Structure 1
Amino acid sequence: MDDLLNLIKEKYPTFSKGHKAIASYIVNHYDKAAFMTAAQLGKEVGVSESTVVRFPAELGFDGYPELQKKLKEIIKSKLTSVQRLEVSSSRIDKDNVLKSVLQSDMNKIKMTLEEIDEDNFNTIVETILNARHIYILGVRSSASLASFLGFYFNLIFQDVRLVHTTSVSEMFEQIINAKEGDVVIGISFPRYSRRTTKAMQFVQKQGATTIAITDNPSSPLVKYANYSIFARSDMNSFVDSLVAPLSIINAIIVAIGLKRKEQVQSTLEKLEKIWDEYQVYEKGDS
């Protein structure tokens, strides 16, 4: 993703005076430029809006929106939590945080739905159904997603391993036996986990089939995935938005559950008796 910034630096000597001003600002303040309109960026650097609109063509882009999209991809992986908080503070209505965040999450689900490849989704479901062993990788904020997926997969499949780890060595120890016929599901969203990426690389070399649940084709997980499925997770703040990713995972669980309906029903009937006997759940008032 640094390729864009390097491209701007390489072409800098060939730019006009106005375009040099734009280029310098983007390289030094890409975190702010990613969310500026062409008019705002022009005002900031002292050039006309039309000059800003023409600038992307110098880099081979069709227009300003495409350049902005690339800048937003950069900030997903490069910004620290402190920088993310600073950027988001200027984008969220401080007097209406609840509605701002909920609306943003709704938009992410809508965009994910519009961009999803259903054939790819169905292929991933069938791949998981045919797996001999299933490994689920997800650390840091993605650990909650991995845990959710692991909980329900354990109700459906007999051999599921949720990789719990706080170190690189422990992760490799838990996936050392992953091989051909096994499926490894890696989950990671910006800022991407290097541990998860390295683990995916390792198991793919071992011959396991790898599935990445991540946010876009530029994610480092995609390089080591046989199949990838994308869910929007554009940042709201220093907090990762995992609403759309959770919906994708929920859809995978439901699709697999429907294909294994009788087995899941039998398991749940047994569990209901156990839950009742050991009083796992509170019972509502009669």
Structure 2
Amino acid sequence: MAIREQVQAALGTLPGAEKKIAHAFLANYPSIGLSTIAELAALAGTSAPTVLRFVARLGFESYPEFQRVLRNDVQAQLMSPLERARSTGPATENPALKASFASIAANLDATLKAVPESEFEAACELLSDQKSACHLIGGRFTDTIASYMAAHLRIIRPNVRHFGGQTSTWRDQLLDVRPGDVVVFFDIRRYQSDLVRLGELMVERKARIVLITDPWLSPIARSARVVLPCVVDANRTWDSSIALMALAEALIDRVSRSLSESARARMQTLEDIHWNNLPGR
């Protein structure tokens, strides 16, 4: 896991002073982690020895080792598809299909380990809250998953909307977002500034955000109630969206089961509408 993801996963087990460091690190990622021990300690209101205990708890032998891995994380996060194409070189796997599927299977397994069950359940609880509307949106490549998820949720619960159209229309659609509404964001590297700004506007409207992102975490994580990191790096030119789709389907299934009675009633109504509109009926 990336360091930021490790820190998030460890939050629930950290002693009080070390938890302050974790919060300071996450709120000022990555710059504060690349500063001195004294600067990180001062920001968190703790001491240098506490910083060293925090780093050791994450599995690092020293603060310089922690910073070296953090720099690698940031460099990997910022790599463009062109840079990844240059680093991976020509395909040599034989057979290529088997290698690709093995990479996908590894991503799914790593994502399963990276997503805490408690965070998954928290996301499902938010999505099952029928008193609040649910809005979904994604980025250039991930919005298709947001649309797919919205299409399913719309069948099993009311007031589900997909933020569609051009970014210039998003502010218009914000008019329908109310305090307490749930907003699902899909955002993976290279994070979209317009999505990040939309997340800020959602917070201003007191919406509750569920973020589905990558191990390096979109900046939207700063405002999210729930963060679900998926492994997307497939050691090839393009990131893989399979883990994102798998997580979306797991959320859909869990919410369907949670809303079993009302979901079945809506599905039955939909079936009745379908059959009543067939030719000859």
Same fold (TM over 0.5): yes
Asked whether the equivalents of residues 200 and 224 of structure 1 are also in contact (C-alpha less than 8 Å), the reply is yes
1:221 matched residue in structure 2: 220
Find out whether 1:102 has 2:101 as its counterpart: yes
Counterpart position of 1:156: 156
Q: Paired residue for 2:114?
A: 115
What residue is the counterpart of 1:22 in the other structure?
none
Aligned runs of 1:205-220 on 2, under 5 Å?
A: 205-216=204-215, 218-220=217-219
1:266 and 1:2 map into 2 onto residues whose CA distance is 48
Residue 64 of structure 2, aligned match among 27, 41, 60: 60
Matched residues in 1 for 2:117 and 2:213: separation?
16
1:210–1:133 Cα change, 3 Å: same
Paired residue for 2:146? 146
Aligned 8 A contact 2:155 2:266 in 1? yes
**Residue aligning to 2:171:** 172
CA-to-aligned-CA distance 1:229-254 (integer Å, 9 cap, x gap): 11111144333301111111111111
Greater displacement, 267-276 / 185-194: 267-276
Equivalent residue number for residue 233 of structure 1: 232
CA deviations over 1:95-128 (Å, ceiling 9, x no partner): 4321121111100111111222111211121122
Task: State the secondary structure of the residue aligned to 1:164.
Answer: coil
Encode CA deviations 1:256-275: one digit per residue, 9 max, x unaligned.
10011122222222333444
CA contact (8 A) 1:187 1:196 kept: no
SS in 1 for 2:86: helix
What amino acid maps onto 1:135 in structure 2?
A: H
Change in CA separation of 1:81 and 1:217 when aligned onto 2, cut-off 3 Å: closer
Q: CA deviation at 1:70?
A: 4.8
Structure 1 gap ranges (5+): 8-55, 281-286
Q: 1:113 to 1:205 in 2, by over 3 A?
A: same
CA deviation string 1:117-169 (max 9, x = no partner): 111211121122225111111121001110111011100121111001222x2
Q: Which one has the largest radius of gyration?
A: 1
Counterpart code for 1:260: L
Structure 1 residues 278, 246: CA separation in 2 closer, same or farther (over 3 Å shift)? same
Distance in 1 (alpha carbons) for counterparts of 2:115 and 2:89: 30
Shift of 1:72: 4.4
Q: What letter matches 2:82 in structure 1?
A: V
- Structure 2 contact 209–226 (Cα < 8 Å) conserved: yes
The separation in 1 between residues aligned to 2:202 and 2:34, in whole angstroms, is 32
**2:81 alignment counterpart:** 81
Mark the CA change 1:67 to 1:97 in structure 2 (over 3 Å): closer, same or farther. farther
**Shift, 1:217, TM fit:** 5.3
CA RMSD, 1 decimal: 2.9
For 2:99 and 2:260, how far apart are their aligned partners in 1?
Answer: 39
Greater relative contact order (Cα < 8 A, sep 6+): 2
TM-score for the superposition, normalised by structure 1: 0.70
**3-state SS of paired residue (2:185):** strand
